Structure 1
Amino acid sequence: MSTILVSSDALAPQALELLKEYALVFTGKNPQEEHIVALCREHNPVAMIVRYGKIGAAAMDAAPAMKVLSKHGSGTDNIDKAAAKERGIDVVAAAGANAAAVAEQALALLMACAKSVSRVDARMHAGHWDKAGHMSVELDGLTVGVVGLGAIGQRFARMAHGLGMRVLGFDPYAQSLPDYITTTDMPNLLREADVISLHCPLTDENRHMLNDATLATCKPGVIVVNTARGGLIDEAALLAAVQSGQVMGAGLDSFAVEPMQPGHPFQGQPGIVLSPHIGAVTNGAYVNMGVFAARNALASLARRAVTA
């Protein structure tokens, strides 16, 4: 029986059923790269369901039978895709499987920033009633700039449109967009948006797309939401922009280094709402991502078997 390695401690039952013809080996949560390499060397899996951990050339070389790396999610930045291509290993993602969950998290973070939810909640629990001095942001009629118009970005754009927001979008690869999304270039999006929400993959070209220079071109008081990848934002630049008031609020679900360590400058900073990369952690998304990842792995293995 061939083996599939799962870089996690579990899969949804529906995914396990799809993979029942294979022996499954689980790495556990947050495995170190050397542990993944050791398991590859021991079991020589034909495929890997990738959730946690970095998958680099060493793991691929330790498993000469490896045919496919199937991501349990939409972002594949923890897989060395260049190394996989050199070795003829397919890399596939569960595109769209977590779209509803992540878009909802982005909307929740936007609302938390616009309505000062964290601050007023903490004050209420401390026994205060700050109605007289409170003023929140009304989103109706404002412009949201959506960066990345894949399944998640389009889902979020639809929600924002439903709130009465004008939607600008930037994605050089997007096609067949709904008519309520007006496409533009990135500089114009930064200038016009009252809210910027990031939904694109992290690449060498867009790393730190929000930095000192680009944040300075935004409207004063802009809200920034990131449920994509932490590396899209220069964290020191964002912190300075929040402290100066150039950025009114930032709702963040992903960070340059995860898990966030104690003492991170964002911790305790007014105007920054934090969540621990949980946008896709819902009951529905967990099942969808597991099933998509399993189906993608099986489809790739079947195709490779036919062409072998």
Structure 2
Amino acid sequence: MTAILVTGADLAPQAVKLLEGHELVYAGKTPTEDDLVALCRAHDPVAIIVRYGKVGAAVMDAAPSLKVISKHGSGTDTIDKVAAKARGIEVVAAVGANAAAVAEQALALLLACAKSVVALDARMHAGHWDKATHKSLELGGRTIGLVGLGAIGLRFARMADALGMRVLGFDPYAKNLPAHVQAADLATLWAESDVISLHCPLTDENRGLLDADTLARCKRGVIVVNTARGGLIDEEALLAALRSGQVSMAGLDSFAIEPMTAGHPFQGEKNIVLSPHIGGVTSDAYVNMGVGAAKNLLQVLARQTAASC
């Protein structure tokens, strides 16, 4: 029986059923590289399903039978794709499996920022009634700039359009955009957007995409939403922009270093709404991502088996 390593503590039962006939080896919720190397040496998996942790060359070299690395989700930045290609290992992702969940989280963070949901909730619980002094932001008629127009970005674009927002989008790989998304270059997107929302994968080219320079080119008082990858934002620059008022609010679901530890500069900042990278964590997305990851790796294994016959 061939082994499949899961870099997590579990898989959806529907995914487990698809993988019957294989030995599933679970690495736990917070596997280190050393943990994964040890498990690969012990079980020599033919496939790895990546939920948590990073899979680099050392892990791959510890599994000589490894043929495919399948992401439990869409973002493959935690997989060393160059190392995988050099070793003839395919990397696949369950693209779109959590699109609805992440887009909804982006909408929740946007509304929380625009409508001061967290601050007003705290004030109400403390016994205050701020009706006479508080004014929220109306989103209808304002412009939102989306960086990344894959399954998540396009789904969120529909939501923004339904709110009556003008939607600008930047994605050099996107084709045949819907009528409600206006293609724009980054310079235009920074200059014209009242809200900027990130929906692109993290690459070496776009790391720190939102930094002091780009934030300075944005409208004063812009709202920033990030449900993609924390490395897209220079966190120190964002904090400075929030404190100066260049950025009015930020809704963040991902961070440069995860999990966030006590004492992080974002903690306690009144103009940041935080969530612990749970945009794609819903009961439905959990099933969709598990099934997608299982189907993807089985397709690769089947194709490679057929090719070798």
TM-score range, shorter chain: over 0.9
Q: Which residue of 2 aligns with 1:69?
A: 69
Q: Distance in 1 between matches of 2:164 and 2:283?
A: 29
Q: Which residue of 1 aligns with 2:277?
A: 277
Q: Which residue of 1 aligns with 2:200?
A: 200
In the alignment, does 2:93 pair up with 1:98?
Answer: no
TM-fit CA distance, 1:277: 0.2
Segment drifting more, 124-133 vs 100-109: 124-133
1:194-217 CA distances to partner (integer Å, 9 max, x unpaired)? 000000000011001100000000
1:155-178 CA distances to partner (integer Å, 9 max, x unpaired)? 000000000000000000001211
Three-state SS of the structure 2 residue aligned to 1:53 is coil
Give, as a single letter, the amino acid of the residue that structure 1 aligns with 2:139: L
Q: TM (normalized to structure 1)?
A: 0.99
Give, as a single letter, the amino acid of the residue that structure 2 aligns with 1:105: Q
1:248-276 CA distances to partner (integer Å, 9 max, x unpaired)? 10000000000001011100101100000
Q: Distance in 2 between matches of 1:106 and 1:62?
A: 38
Superposition pairs of residues 1-308 of structure 1, within 5 angstroms = 1-308=1-308
Q: TM (normalized to structure 2)?
A: 0.99
Three-state SS of the structure 2 residue aligned to 1:42 is helix
Give, as a single letter, the amino acid of the residue that structure 2 aligns with 1:273: V
Give me the CA root mean square deviation: 0.5
Three-state SS of the structure 2 residue aligned to 1:5 is strand
Q: Distance in 1 between matches of 2:3 and 2:11?
A: 15
Q: Distance in 2 between matches of 1:200 and 1:109?
A: 17
Give, as a single letter, the amino acid of the residue that structure 2 aligns with 1:88: G
TM-fit CA distance, 1:130: 1.1
Three-state SS of the structure 2 residue aligned to 1:241 is helix
TM-fit CA distance, 1:30: 1.2
Give, as a single letter, the amino acid of the residue that structure 2 aligns with 1:249: M
Q: Distance in 1 between matches of 2:204 and 2:32?
A: 24
Aligned length: 308
Gaps of 5+ in 1: none
TM-fit CA distance, 1:131: 1.2
Q: Distance in 2 between matches of 1:21 and 1:200?
A: 36
1:143-193 CA distances to partner (integer Å, 9 max, x unpaired)? 000100000000000000000000000000001211110001011100000
Q: Distance in 2 between matches of 1:136 and 1:211?
A: 27
Q: Distance in 2 between matches of 1:264 and 1:45?
A: 37
Q: Distance in 1 between matches of 2:5 and 2:120?
A: 46
Task: Quote the sequence identity (%).
Answer: 70
Three-state SS of the structure 2 residue aligned to 1:262 is coil
Q: Distance in 1 between matches of 2:177 and 2:151?
A: 11
Q: Distance in 2 between matches of 1:133 and 1:7?
A: 50
Three-state SS of the structure 1 residue aligned to 2:242 is helix
Give, as a single letter, the amino acid of the residue that structure 1 aligns with 2:214: T
TM-fit CA distance, 1:286: 0.3
Three-state SS of the structure 2 residue aligned to 1:251 is strand
